[in-house]
């Protein structure tokens, strides 16, 4: 195929225009994401939790949610799982004869899949690394629900103007100098609030003080799925607690590995476009000429 230099430049020029309008330089997430310097978080120790659910009630009150009483027939707050009325829940996990409570809320991932997938930056890492939701940008596509490895974001299925409901680490309370409602109310210190660095150090001290008490002698969330700002200690295997034990690569990184390369700087799509246009031009010229001759010969009008 012969392509003149002028053709290539013309192609690149148009390619760039098309790129600016229609194409997107999807960037890859980093393989080893770093927690923001001001990262706060929580440390939940499943061996301490007594399952009193004070944190569930406190969360509902602090966040002005209507308690979910469906299961109890309207008497008690009894959510089955996280839902549009429940940002924080205590669940019972079982592993054969052994059991444990587990607290479930947003993990405030360091490299969150939901933030990576959200088409209009409605979900983003805000102050202190908290994953926050912006009602003015959310189109309600629910891709965050597909991408979250922990099934945290929930959608108000019954509402006309549905919101995405998820723990935002009581960021409005932090602004008032208070700690999150769940950590404040916990009577046994099973869940603690603090900077991520301090909590991680404390978790490691607990493991050191009690070797073999904790599963794999490690802190879940230190590096799992790229690391989280909420950390877990447990005596049961993490996957029994609903914490997928699937390596240290963040979903955001896993999900953008291929696109991160293909769309880097739009170089590949622009090059592909240039080649396509050059090839098409060559074919089209021949076809156009054939159509013209055909029309001349038969007297039938040319069709575009």
Partner 1 sequence: MSAETHHWHRNVQVFHSKLLTAPYLFWATLAVIGLTLSLGRFFTGLWFTGMNDDYAWGVWKTFNVMTLTALGSGGLAVAFFCYVLGKKQSHSVMRAAVASSFLFYATGMLALSIDVGRPWNLYNMALPWTWNLRSSLFEVALCMTAYVVIFLLFENTTYLVDQAILESEGTWRGRLRKWVPFMKKLYPWMVGGALLLPAMHQSSLGALMVIAGHKVHPLWQTQMLPAFYLIQAVICGFAAVLFILMSASLAWRRNLDVPVLSAMGKYMAWTSLVFVVARYVDVLVRGVVGQAFQANWYAALFHVENFLVLLPALALFNARLRSIPRVLFVTSILTGAGGVLYRFTPTTLAYRAGHPSVYFPKIAELLMCLGYIGLAVILFIWAAKRFAILPATTSEWDKYVTFLKSKNPSLRINEHGAATDN
- Chain residues 168-227 in contact with partner 1, contact rule CB under 8 A: none
The correct pick among 154, 166, 192, 240 for binding partner 1 (CB under 8 A) is 154
Segment interacting with partner 1 (CB under 8 A) among 32-40, 58-66, 198-206, 296-304:
296-304
Question: Does residue 158 belong to the site contacting partner 1 (CB under 8 A)?
Answer: yes
The correct pick among 161, 176, 209, 212 for binding partner 1 (CB under 8 A) is 161
**Tokens read off for 53:** 């659910």
Helix 267-298 and helix 5-22, axial crossing angle in degrees, nearest 10: 110
Question: Does residue 77 belong to the site contacting partner 1 (CB under 8 A)?
Answer: no
The correct pick among 16, 67, 95, 155 for binding partner 1 (CB under 8 A) is 155
The span from the CA of 98 to the CA of 92, in Å, is: 11
Segment interacting with partner 1 (CB under 8 A) among 63-71, 170-178, 189-197, 277-285:
277-285
The correct pick among 242, 281, 289, 293 for binding partner 1 (CB under 8 A) is 281
Q: Specify whether the CB–CB gap between 71 and 55 falls below 8 A.
A: no
**Tokens read off for 256:** 């953008």
The correct pick among 41, 149, 180, 227 for binding partner 1 (CB under 8 A) is 149
By CB under 8 A, what part of segment 3-42 binds partner 1? 14, 18, 21-27, 29
Shortest Å distance, C-beta 180 to partner 1 = 23
Residue 254 host element (H or E): helix 251-262
Strands 191-195 and 40-45 turn out to be antiparallel
The number of residues that bind partner 1 (CB under 8 A) is 74
Segment interacting with partner 1 (CB under 8 A) among 98-106, 197-205, 230-238, 281-289:
281-289
Partner residues linked to 132 by β-bridges: 124
Residue 41 or 149 having the CB closest to partner 1: 149
By CB under 8 A, what part of segment 220-259 binds partner 1? 244, 246, 251-252, 254-259
The correct pick among 3, 48, 141, 207 for binding partner 1 (CB under 8 A) is 141
Question: Does residue 277 belong to the site contacting partner 1 (CB under 8 A)?
Answer: yes
Q: Specify whether the CB–CB gap between 256 and 116 falls below 8 A.
A: yes
Please enumerate, as own/partner, the contacts of 202-209 that have beta carbons within 8 Å and a separation of 24 or more: 202/43, 203/43, 203/45, 203/231, 203/233, 206/45, 206/233, 207/233
Residue 188 host element (H or E): none
The correct pick among 145, 179, 184, 222 for binding partner 1 (CB under 8 A) is 145
Q: Specify whether the CB–CB gap between 82 and 104 falls below 8 A.
A: yes
Please give the biggest Cα pair distance in the chain.
Answer: 95
The span from the CA of 179 to the CA of 267, in Å, is: 47
Nearest to 167 by CA among 151, 149, 178: 151
Shortest Å distance, C-beta 185 to partner 1 = 26
Per-residue x/- marks for partner 1, 99-128, CB under 8 A? --------------x--xxxxxx-------
């Amino acid at each position: 195929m012969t392509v003149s230099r002028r053709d290539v430049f013309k192609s690149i020029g148009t390619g760039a225009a098309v790129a600016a309008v229609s194409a997107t330089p999807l960037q890859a997430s980093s393989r080893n994401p770093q927690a923001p310097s001001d990262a706060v978080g929580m440390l939940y120790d499943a061996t301490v939790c007594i399952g009193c659910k004070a944190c569930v009630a406190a969360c509902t009150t602090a966040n002005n949610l209507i308690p979910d009483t469906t299961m109890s027939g309207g008497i008690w707050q009894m959510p089955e799982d996280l839902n549009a009325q429940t940002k924080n829940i205590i669940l019972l996990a079982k592993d054969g004869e052994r059991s444990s409570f587990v607290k479930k809320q947003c993990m405030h991932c360091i490299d969150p899949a939901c933030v990576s997938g959200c088409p209009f930056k409605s979900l983003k890492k805000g102050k202190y690394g908290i994953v926050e939701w912006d009602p003015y940008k959310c189109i309600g596509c629910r891709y965050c629900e597909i991408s979250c490895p922990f099934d945290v974001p929930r959608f108000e299925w019954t509402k006309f103007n549905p919101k995405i409901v998820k723990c935002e680490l009581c960021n409005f309370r932090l602004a008032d100098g208070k700690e999150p409602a769940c950590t404040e109310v916990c009577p046994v210190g099973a869940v603690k609030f603090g900077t991520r660095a301090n909590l991680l150090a404390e978790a490691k001290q607990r493991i050191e003080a009690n070797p073999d008490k904790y599963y794999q002698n490690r802190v879940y969330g230190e590096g799992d799925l790229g690391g989280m700002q909420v950390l877990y200690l447990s005596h049961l295997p993490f996957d029994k607690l609903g914490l997928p034990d699937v390596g240290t690569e963040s979903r955001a990184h896993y999900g953008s590995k291929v696109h991160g390369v293909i769309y880097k700087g739009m170089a590949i799509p622009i090059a592909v476009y240039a080649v396509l246009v050059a090839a098409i031009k060559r074919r089209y010229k021949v076809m156009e000429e054939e159509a013209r001759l055909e029309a001349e010969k038969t007297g039938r009008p040319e069709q575009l």
